[in-house]
Structure 1
Amino acid sequence: MATSTITTATYQLYPSPRNSSNTIFVHELFLPYPYALIHLPDYNLAGAATLFAACRLADQKMGQLVTFELPADLARFERLFTPD
């Protein structure tokens, strides 16, 4: 099965198969850890969130992009996330 990609002005994104939708929310965080295991339900977020493998177009840096519907969820994720 081919993976669909989404290209924005900033990133080339590869959606996680665990996403319930491929919505790119306003509040986003780029993580320069392409192999970190991120399981969003573990963070007990109040709103929706999506996870993408990402290539930052400006410098071709690979990583992951997490987008959040709510700014409080972004703050919670930043506080709790520790790379493997």
Structure 2
Amino acid sequence: MPEAAFTTPEYKLFPSPRNRHREVFLHEVFVAHPYALIDLPSFDFQGKYSLFAAHRLADGKNGQLVTFELEADARKFGEKFIPD
């Protein structure tokens, strides 16, 4: 059974069942496309990462939150991700 949703100061998060690492890492990228398919393994990141369906509390916007162990991976994702 997937983990239940949880709330941080900025988001209500719903973990992806495909996450290898079930934690919120320091470096975050919010993707304002809640239905975009994000194939994280295809980016070939150096560190750990995790994906969450996200509800941003500040403005009520839904999307996805990708978190990264390494800042360089967050930059790489931000530069290369193109929503479908």
Q: Match of 1:12?
A: 12
- Residue 59 of structure 1 and its aligned partner are, at CA, apart by 1.2
Q: Match of 1:65?
A: 65
Residue by residue over 1:26-81, the C-alpha shift from the partner in whole angstroms, topping out at 9 and shown as x without a partner, is 00011100000001100000000000000001111000000000011011111110
Mapped to 2, the partners of 1:50 and 1:56 lie a distance apart of 17
- Residue 21 of structure 1 and its aligned partner are, at CA, apart by 2.6
Structure 2: tracts of 5 or more residues without a match? none
Residues 2 and 17, structure 2, Cα contact 8 Å, conserved in 1:
no
Q: How many residues align?
A: 84
Q: Match of 1:45?
A: 45
Normalized against structure 1, the TM-score is what?
0.94
Mapped to 1, the partners of 2:45 and 2:51 lie a distance apart of 13
Mapped to 2, the partners of 1:74 and 1:21 lie a distance apart of 16
Mapped to 2, the partners of 1:10 and 1:57 lie a distance apart of 6
Structure 1: tracts of 5 or more residues without a match? none
AA partner of residue 56 (structure 1):
R
Q: Match of 1:35?
A: 35
Correspondence list, 1:66-81, <5 A: 66-81=66-81
Moved over 3 A (4+): none
Alpha-carbon RMSD across the aligned residues, in angstroms, is 1.1
